Amino acid sequence: MSSSRNVLYRPYNLVMINNFPSESKPWWNRPLFGGVSFIERILGALNPQQVPELALSLHDTELEELERIVPTLRMLDNEQYSAEFLLFMSIKHKIDNNLDDYKGLQTFIKIFIFASKNIHHFRTINRIELDFQGKTQVDLYNLIEEQLNTNSDPILFKQLVTIEIEKLCKIIHNEPTKKALLSYQTALNAIEEDPMGLSLLLLFKKYHISDYTIFNTTNIILKQLKKQDLSNLKALVLMVKVNYEELDKLGQLIGIPHNETQFITYAKILQYIALLSRYENNIYRFQQLIENVNKWHKHYLTILEIRHEYPSHKYRVSPKFIENIPGESIYFKYQDYIRITESL
Asked whether the predicted pLDDT for residue 77 surpasses 90, the reply is yes
pLDDT for residue 128: 95
Across the range 181-202, mean pLDDT stands at 92
3-state secondary structure of 323: coil
Amino acid in position 306: I
Candidates 50, 38, 56; CA nearest to 306 is 56
Q: Is the dihedral of CA 5, 6, 11, 16 positive or negative?
A: positive
List pLDDT tens digits, range 23-71: 444 444 444 445 555 555 554 455 578 889 999 999 999 999 999 999 9
pLDDT for residue 153: 87
CB 69 within 8 A of CB 292: yes
- Count of residues making up the chain: 344
Q: What is the pTM of this model?
A: 0.76
Candidates 99, 72, 81; CA nearest to 283 is 81
φ, ψ of residue 48 in degrees (nearest 5): -70, 140
More confident call, 69 vs 8: 69
Asked whether the predicted pLDDT for residue 145 surpasses 90, the reply is yes
List pLDDT tens digits, range 264-305: 999 999 999 999 999 999 999 999 999 999 999 999 999 999
CB 95 within 8 A of CB 106: yes
Q: Give the torsion through C-alpha atoms of 194, 195, 201, 203, to 10 deg.
A: -130
Average of per-residue pLDDT values in the chain: 84
Task: Give 249: exposed, middle or buried? Use CB within 10 Å, 0-12, 13-18, 19+.
Answer: middle
3-state secondary structure of 261: coil
pLDDT for residue 40: 54
pLDDT for residue 242: 93
pLDDT for residue 29: 42
Confidence of residue 316 (pLDDT cuts 50, 70, 90): confident
Which residues have CB under 8 Å from 268's CB, separation 6+? 91, 101, 102, 105, 233, 236
pLDDT for residue 132: 93
Determine what percent of the chain is predicted with pLDDT higher than 90. 58
Element (H, E) at 150: helix 135-150
Eight-class DSSP state of 310? S
Eight-class DSSP state of 280? G
